[in-house]
C-alpha cells in the first residue's frame, strides 16, 4: 500500500491537461456488452476502477485491450457468461452498470450488490424499480441481484429519489431500454454530462434516444446494436480538483482539454470567492489573489455544484477568512474528511448535512488518512497549501478515480512523493519523537518520580457489645 509525502507551501504554476471522465468511461465500457462487433473507446483514463471493470468484463466473456494511445478495444466473444462476481464488484459501485446490459442482451444477470466509497447510503432500489418496469423479474439472494427477462418491453418510468436523480440508475435503465420492445420514457432522469455522453455512445451503436441532458428521456427500442467508436468527454471533477488546487495554493495554472459548459456552477462559485478565471482557446486559466472571500455552498444534482467537489471546495474554504457554510443535499453524510482536515489545523463544525467552516491563516502539515475517493483529493489539496510536511495515507482511493494526479500536480510545481506506507518511510518531522518538551518548563515541575507504593493495614478487631 502506498502513501503520499507532500511538501506544502508552494504556489502551483504552469499548464497541464485533463484526462477523460471516469464517470463516463465506466458505464460506457459496461454498455459495450450490448453490441454485436467491436467498439473502440478513446480517452479512457488510466485508473484502478477502469482496470477493475476490465477484469469484470473479461469474466463476462469480453476481450478488453488497451492500445498505445490510451484507447480501449472491447469485443464480446462469449455471450453466455452472466455472473458478475462479488470479489470484483465489491471494489467499486460502478460495477452495477453491467446489470442493465446483461439483462437486455443475455436475458439473465447475476450481479453482486456493489461496494465503493463510504460516503453514505446509496441504495440500488431505483435501478431495480426501473428494470422491473421493463418486465424483469428480480430477487435478492445471498448478496446478489438475480434478474431475468424473456422479453423486455417499453414503459414509463419515474427515477426520482429522496436526494435527486440517480446517475448510474439512469444509465442502467437506458441501456436495458435500448433493446426493449416499444418506447420507454424516463421521467426525473439524471442530467449530468456523463449521462449525456453515455446516451451519445448508445446512439452511436444504433440506439434511438432523445432528450439527453433533460429530465425527460425517450428511448425507442431497436432489434440490435453494433460496435462503434467514441471519444470520452473530459473529466469535469478532475478539472475542478485541479482548479481548486491552483486556488488553494494561490497559484496561476492553465488547464487544457476542459469543457467549461460542464463546470458552470463550480466556476461561478469560485468567482464569488474571488478566484480569477479566464477562458482560453483550449481550456481555462486560474489566477488566484492572496485574499479570498468566504461563501455558502450547496451541493445539488446537475447543474448545481457537484457533490464530488464538496470535499475539495471545503479544503479551499478552510484557508479563506470568515465563515463559510457547506451543505451536501446529495450525500448528506459525506463528511468523513472533516476530522482529518482538523488534524491539519482546519476549524470545521459539523451540523447535520452541513459543515460550518471558519477560515484559518494557514494549515499545518500532518499525517492524515483518506476515507474515500474525493476526500483523498481534498487532503492532497490541503497538504499542498499547508506549511511543512504532510503524509496522506490510503491513497488507493485516489488511484481509483484520478489518472496519476500526483504527476500532474508535480508538473505544476507540487512536491509530492509516492512511497510505500511503512514506519520507516514516515517523515521524522511527523513522528511523536519530534515533539520536544519546551525549554521554559520548570525542571521541578518536570521531575520524574518513582511509583508510590500503597501500604495496606489490616483492620483491628473490635469486640462487639452483647446484651
Contacts of 223 (CB under 8 A, 6+ apart): 179
How many Å apart are CA 372 and CA 322, to the nearest integer? 28
Helix (H, G, I), strand (E, B) or coil at 238: helix
The per-residue b/e assignment along 45-83, b for 16 or more CB within 10 angstroms, e otherwise, is bebbbbebbbebbeebbbebeeeeebbbbbbbeeeebbe
Instruction: Kindly report the length of the chain.
Output: 467
Helix (H, G, I), strand (E, B) or coil at 84: strand
Candidates 249, 241, 194; CA nearest to 375 is 241
Antiparallel, parallel or unpaired: β 183-187 and 156-158: parallel
CA angle 97, 100, 101 (to 5 degrees): 90
How many Å apart are CA 342 and CA 337, to the nearest integer? 9
Residues noted as catalytic: 117
Q: What is the DSSP string of 306-350?
A: -GGGHHHHHHHHTTSSSEEEEEESSSTT--THHHHHHHTT-EEEE
For residue 19, give the C-alpha cell.
484526462
CA angle 21, 22, 28 (to 5 degrees): 90
How many Å apart are CA 92 and CA 303, to the nearest integer? 25
Candidates 197, 234, 304; CA nearest to 17 is 234
How many Å apart are CA 376 and CA 287, to the nearest integer? 24
For residue 20, give the C-alpha cell.
477523460
Q: Does the bond joining 303 to the residue before it have cis omega, within 30 degrees of 0?
A: yes
How many Å apart are CA 120 and CA 407, to the nearest integer? 30
C-alpha distances (whole Å) from 396 to each of 48, 314, 370, 401, 420 are 8, 21, 9, 9, 12
Amino acid at each position: 500500500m502506498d502513501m503520499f509525502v507532500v511538501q506544502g507551501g508552494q504556489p502551483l504554476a504552469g499548464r497541464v491537461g485533463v484526462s477523460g471522465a471516469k464517470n463516463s468511461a465506466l458505464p460506457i465500457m459496461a454498455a459495450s456488452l450490448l453490441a454485436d462487433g467491436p467498439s473502440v473507446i478513446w480517452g479512457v483514463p488510466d485508473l484502478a476502477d477502469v482496470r477493475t471493470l476490465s477484469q469484470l468484463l473479461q469474466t463476462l466473456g469480453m476481450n478488453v485491450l488497451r492500445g498505445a494511445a490510451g484507447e480501449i478495444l472491447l469485443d464480446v466473444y462469449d455471450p453466455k457468461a452472466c455472473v458478475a462476481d462479488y470479489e470484483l464488484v465489491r471494489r467499486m459501485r460502478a460495477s452495477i452498470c453491467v446489470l442493465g446490459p446483461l439483462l437486455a442482451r443475455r436475458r439473465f444477470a447475476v450481479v453482486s450488490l456493489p461496494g465503493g466509497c463510504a460516503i453514505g447510503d446509496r441504495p440500488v432500489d431505483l435501478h431495480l424499480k426501473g428494470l422491473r418496469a421493463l418486465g424483469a423479474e428480480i430477487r435478492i439472494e445471498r448478496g446478489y441481484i438475480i434478474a431475468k427477462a424473456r422479453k423486455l418491453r417499453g414503459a414509463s418510468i419515474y427515477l426520482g429519489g429522496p436526494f435527486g436523480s440517480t446517475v448510474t440508475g439512469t444509465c442502467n435503465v437506458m441501456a436495458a431500454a435500448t433493446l426493449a420492445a416499444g418506447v420507454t420514457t424516463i421521467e426525473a432522469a439524471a442530467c449530468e454530462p456523463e449521462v449525456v455522453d453515455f446516451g451519445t455512445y448508445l446512439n452511436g451503436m444504433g440506439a434511438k434516444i432523445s432528450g439527453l441532458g433533460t429530465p425527460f428521456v425517450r428511448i425507442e427500442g431497436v432489434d440490435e446494436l453494433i460496435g462503434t467508436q467514441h471519444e470520452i468527454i473530459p473529466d469535469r471533477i478532475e478539472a475542478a480538483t485541479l482548479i481548486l488546487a491552483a486556488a488553494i495554493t494561490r497559484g496561476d495554472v492553465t488547464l487544457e482539454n476542459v469543457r467549461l459548459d460542464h463546470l458552470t456552477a463550480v466556476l461561478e462559485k469560485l468567482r464569488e470567492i474571488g478566484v480569477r478565471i479566464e477562458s482560453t482557446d483550449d481550456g481555462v486559466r486560474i489566477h488566484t489573489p492572496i485574499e479570498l472571500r468566504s461563501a455558502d455552498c450547496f451541493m445539488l444534482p446537475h447543474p448545481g455544484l457537484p457533490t464530488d467537489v464538496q470535499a475539495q471546495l471545503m479544503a479551499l474554504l478552510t484557508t479563506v477568512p470568515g465563515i463559510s457554510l457547506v451543505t451536501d443535499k446529495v450525500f448528506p453524510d459525506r463528511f468523513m474528511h472533516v476530522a482529518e482536515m482538523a488534524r491539519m489545523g482546519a476549524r470545521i463544525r459539523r451540523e447535520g448535512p452541513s459543515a460550518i467552516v471558519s477560515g484559518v491563516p494557514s494549515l499545518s502539515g500532518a499525517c492524515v488518512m483518506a476515507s474515500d475517493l474525493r476526500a483523498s483529493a481534498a487532503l492532497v489539496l490541503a497538504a499542498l497549501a499547508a506549511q511543512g510536511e504532510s503524509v496522506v495515507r490510503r491513497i488507493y482511493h485516489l488511484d481509483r478515480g484520478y489518472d496519476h494526479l500526483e504527476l500532474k500536480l508535480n508538473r505544476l510545481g507540487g512536491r509530492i512523493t509516492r512511497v510505500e506506507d511503512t514506519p520507516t518511510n514516515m517523515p521524522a518531522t511527523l513522528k511523536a519523537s519530534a515533539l520536544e518538551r519546551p525549554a521554559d518548563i520548570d525542571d521541578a515541575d518536570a521531575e520524574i518520580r518513582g511509583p508510590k507504593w500503597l501500604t495496606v493495614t489490616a483492620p483491628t478487631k473490635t469486640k462487639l457489645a452483647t446484651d
